[in-house]
Amino acid sequence: MPGIEDDVAGLVHECQEFVELICRGRNPLELVSKKTRMDYAKLTLGLVRKAQRSGTDLMAMVLATSRSSSYHKRMAAVRYLLATQHQQLLFEAQTRYCAEERSDLEWFRRWRNHCGLLRGYHDRQKLGFTTTRRKRASKRRALRGLPDDWRDQLCVRARNGKYAYAMLVAALEAAARQSFGRVLSSRVSNTLKVLKS
C-alpha cells in the first residue's frame, strides 16, 4: 500500500525532528547511568499506570505535581522513555526495510502514537513548569507545644556535635529576645554548665 508507506515515512521524519528538538542535540540514552535508567523506568511505568487508571494522557500525569523538582525528574524520565522508544522503532524500521516488509496499518498506528507522544512532550517542554507552589505551613504554631526548656535540651543533644556553638548562640539569642535580667543570666549559666559537662 503506497499510501501507508508515504504516511509512515512522513511520520518517521516528523518524529525525528521532534526528537532532535526535545533532546537539543544530546543523546539522552548515553548521558544516563544504569541506576538512573532503572529509576526512570520505574517512574515512567508508574506514570503510565496512573494515566491509564485515571483515563488521562501521560503528560497530564507529568504535570500532576506541585513541586518543580518532581516535574523536572518526570520530564527527564519521559524524555528517556521516548528516546528509547524512538530508537526501538527506528531499529524495527531498519529490520523491516532489510526484509522488504511492507508497512501495514498497525505499523502506521505505532508511529502515529509515538509522534503524538513526542508532540505532547515538546509542547509541555516549551511551556515549562506552570503549576504554582503551595505555601508551607507556619512552624511558629508548633513551637507553642514545646517544653519551656527545649532550647537547653537542644544544647545538651548537640554539645558534642559540630553545631554545638550554633545551638548555644540560638538559645542565647532567643533567651535575650524573650526576657532580660535575671532570666537571661540564669539561662546563660545553665546552658554553659550543660556545655561544659
What is the average per-residue pLDDT within 184-194?
65
Q: What are 10-51's pLDDT values in tens digits?
A: 888 888 888 888 777 677 777 778 888 888 888 888 888 888
Q: What is the pLDDT of residues 39-91, one digit of tens each?
A: 888 888 888 888 888 888 877 888 777 788 888 888 888 888 888 888 888 88
Higher pLDDT pick, 194 / 98: 98
∠ at Cα 140 (136, 141), nearest 5°? 95
* pTM (two decimals): 0.59
Q: What is the pLDDT of residues 125-176, one digit of tens each?
A: 888 777 666 666 776 667 677 777 777 787 788 878 888 888 778 777 766 5
pLDDT reported for residue 103 = 72
| Mutual angle of helices 105-127 and 68-98, in 10-degree steps | 150
